[in-house]
Amino acid sequence: MKFSYKILLCTMLTLAVEFGIGGYVFVNDVFKASLERETGQAMDESSILRFAFETAALNIPSKYNRLQNSVIEEIGANLEKSGQGTGRLLRLSDEERQVVYASEGFVEDTKLLNQIQEKTRAYQIIHPDEGHYYIQTGMRITTLDRVLYLETLRDVTPVYGERERGFAVYRNLTLLILIVSSVLMFFISSWLTRPIRLLTQAARKMTAGDYSYRAEQISLDEMGQLTCDFNHMANVLEENILKLQEEVRAREDFIAAFSHELKTPLTAVIGYADLLRTRKLDDEKHFLSANYIYTEGKRLEAMSLRLLDIIVTKRCALEPQDIKTEHMFSYLRDMYRGHREHPLVFQYEQGTIRAEANLLKTVLLNLVDNACKASETGSRVEILGENRSEGYWFAVKDFGVGIPVEECRKITEAFYMVDKSRSRSHNGAGLGLALCAEILKLHGSGLEIESTPGEGSCFGFLIPRAGTEE
C-alpha cells in the first residue's frame, strides 16, 4: 500500500474513532442531564401531589374516624383531573400495598411500590412497551390514621427520542466530516509525500546510471533536509565514481604507455641480438650492435628503477627533518660543479624547512635536469628560493623550448612526454615529473608550472617551513 494511502487511512481511522467516542460521550451527557432534570421534576411533582392529597383529605368532612377507600378514590380522581394534559398518571395504594386508585394506563408493575419505605422516596425508569419510557416515583403518605402509598408516572419518551436524534445527527455529521476529510487528506498526504516520490525518482535515475540527477528540494522541513543530505551524498558518490573512473583510465593509460615504452627498446635489443647471433659482422658493426643493446638495456634498467622509485614513494611514509635550505642549494651546486653546458644561477633566501632531504634532492635534481635538457647549450638555468607566507618556495627556471599550455596539466602523468623523440634522445621515459609529483604529494604540496613555448618554463613548489603545522 502506498505511504500516502497509509497516512490517509490512519488519519481517517483516528478521526472516526475520536468522533465516534466524542459524539457518544457528548450526546449521552446531554441525555443524562435532561433525564436528571426530568427526574427532579417528577419528584417535585409527586411532593406537590402528596401535599395536595393531604390537604384534600383534611378538608373532607369527617363522617368516619378513618379515611375511607372511596374518599381516597375520589381524591385520586380529582388530583388526576387537575393534572390533565400534563401526561402525568398516579396510583394510590393502601397499607397492604393494595391498589386503591390508579389512573388509566398506569403500569401494573408493583416492584417500586414494594420498595417504598417510611422515609424514602423511590424512583425508577421503566420501559413498559416498545418506544415508551417513564419515570415512576413513589412515596409514603400518612393522613387520618391511614398509611398510603402514592406513585406517579411521568412520560420521558421525548428525552430518549432526543438522545436517538442526537446520535443520528452526530453519526451523519461524522460521516460527512469523514468524507470531506478523506478528500482533503488525500491531497494533503500526496503533497506531504511528494518529497519521498522525488527522492525515489532520483534514486531510480541514479541506479540507471544518471549520476548527475538530483532530487528537487521542495521544503525546508525534515523531508527537505533529507533531500539535501541525499543530494549531498549523491555529490560525494558522483565525485568518488568519477575519481574511480579517472583512476581506472589512468591505470589503463599507464599500462598502455608502459607496454609501449618497453616495446621499442625490446624490439631494438632483440633485433640487434639476432643480428649478432646470425651474422658474422665486422668489428665496427659488432661494436655498434652491442653498444645499442647496452644503451637500450641501460635505458630499460633506468626506467624500471624509476618506476620502482614511484611505487616505493607512493607507499612510503614521510620522515621529515628540519633542513636549512642552504644545504639543498649547496648540494645542487656540488652536483653540477663540472657541468659546463648550462650556467646555473642560484638566487635564494635563507630558511629552514621541514621535509625529507633525500626526496627533496630528487625533486630538485629532476627539475634542474629537465631544465637543462629543454635548453640550448649555454642557456642559463635559474634555481630560486624565497620565504613566502605559505611556506618556502623553490623554483627552477629555464629559457628553453617551453611547454604548450594544454600539455602542462599532463606532464606529471607517468610516461607522458611532450616531445617523445627529444625526451628519448635524452634517455627520458616521462617518469621524472611523475616521481616529483608523488614526492611533493607526500609533503602536502604539488608542482606549479608556468611555461611559454619558445620562451622557457618555471617549475615551482612550496615546502612547509620548520615549526609550522602541515
Q: Rounded to the nearest 5°, which phi and psi values hold at 23? A: -65, -45
Toward ligand ADP, which CB reaches closer, 27 or 429?
429
Query: Closest distance between ligand ADP and the C-beta of residue 311, in Å?
Result: 16
Pick the binder of ligand ADP from 289, 313, 423, 445 (CB under 6 A): 423
Measure the CA–CA gap between 70 and 61, rounded to whole angstroms.
Answer: 13
Nearer to ligand ADP, 162 or 419 (CB): 419
Which residue's Cβ has the minimum distance to ligand ADP?
428
Residue number with CB closer to ligand ADP (429 or 462)? 429
391 binds ligand ADP (CB under 6 A): no
Among residues 240, 236, 218, 239, the alpha carbon closest in space to that of 227 is found at 218
Is residue 310 within the footprint of ligand ADP (CB under 6 A)? no
Q: Are 185 and 11 in contact (CB under 8 A)?
A: yes
Q: Which of 198, 206, 374, 408 binds ligand ADP (CB under 6 A)?
A: 374
Q: How far apart are CA 199 and CA 211, in angstroms?
A: 14
Number of residues forming the site for ligand ADP (CB under 6 A): 23
Rounded Cα–Cα distance for residues 8 and 13 (Å) = 9
Three-state secondary-structure class, residue 302? helix
Whether 92 and 149 have beta carbons less than 8 Å apart is answered as yes
User: Counting contacts by CB under 6 A, is residue 313 touching ligand ADP?
Assistant: no
Query: What whole-number distance in Å separates Cα of residue 368 and Cα of residue 337?
Result: 13
Instruction: Say which residue the cell 466524542 belongs to.
Output: 22
Q: Is 368 in the site for ligand ADP (CB under 6 A)?
A: no
CB nearer ligand ADP, residue 272 or residue 399: 399
393 sits in which H/E element: strand 391-398
Q: Per CB under 6 A, which region of 23-31, 76-84, 285-293, 395-403 contacts ligand ADP?
A: 395-403
- Contact between 150 and ligand ADP per CB under 6 A: no
Q: Is 457 in the site for ligand ADP (CB under 6 A)?
A: yes
Minimal distance in Å, beta carbon 408 to ligand ADP? 9
Q: How far apart (Å, rounded) are the C-alpha atoms in residues 144 and 59?
A: 11
- The grid cell for 27 is 450526546
* 327-366: contacts with ligand ADP (CB under 6 A): 366
Cell numbers describing residue 242: 568519477
Return the range that interacts with ligand ADP (CB under 6 A); candidates 125-133, 163-171, 259-267, 369-377: 369-377
Exposure pattern of 224-263 as b/e (b: 16+ CB <10 Å)? Answer: eebbeebbeebeeeeeeeeeeeeeeeeeeeeeebbeebee
Residue whose CB is less far from ligand ADP, 16 or 302: 302
Q: Is residue 303 involved in binding ligand ADP (CB under 6 A)?
A: no
Instruction: CB nearer to ligand ADP: give 391 or 402.
Output: 402
- The verdict on 253 binding ligand ADP (CB under 6 A) reads no
Locus of grid cell 635534481: 365
Kindly identify the residues of this chain, within the stretch 396-415, that bind ligand ADP according to CB under 6 A. 398, 400-403, 411
DSSP assignment of 55-115, as one string? HHHHHS--SSSS--HHHHHHHHHHHHHHTTTTT-EEEEE-TT--EEEE-TT-----HHHHH
Paired sense of beta strands 344-348 and 381-388, if any: parallel
Read off φ and ψ for residue 437, nearest 5 degrees.
-60, -40
Q: Tell me how far, at minimum, the Cβ of 333 lies from ligand ADP, in Å.
A: 19
Stretch that binds ligand ADP, among 130-138, 187-195, 340-348, 428-436 (CB under 6 A): 428-436
428 binds ligand ADP (CB under 6 A): yes
Rounded to a whole number of angstroms, the minimum distance from the CB of residue 401 to ligand ADP is 5
Among 8, 433, 439, 440, interactor with ligand ADP by CB under 6 A = 433
Instruction: For cell 400495598, name the residue.
Output: 97
Per rule CB under 6 A, is residue 431 in the interface with ligand ADP? yes
Judged by CB under 6 A, the residue of 430, 439, 447, 463 near ligand ADP is 430
Distance CA 313, CA 295 (A): 27
> Which region, judged by CB under 6 A, interacts with ligand ADP, from 38-46, 190-198, 268-276, 429-437?
429-437
Binding flag, residue 418, ligand ADP (CB under 6 A)? yes
- Please pick, from the candidates 94, 419, 448, 450, the single residue that binds ligand ADP as defined by CB under 6 A: 419
> Any contact of residue 372 with ligand ADP (CB under 6 A)?
no
User: Cα(113)–Cα(152) distance, rounded to whole angstroms?
Assistant: 11
CB of 397 to ligand ADP, least distance (A): 9
- Going by the DSSP 8-state scheme, the letter that residue 400 receives in this structure is S
Bridge partners for 454 per DSSP: none
Q: Are strands 134-143 and 89-93 parallel, antiparallel or unpaired?
A: unpaired
Residue numbers of the site for ligand ADP (CB under 6 A)?
A: 366, 370-371, 374, 398, 400-403, 411, 416-419, 423, 428-434, 457
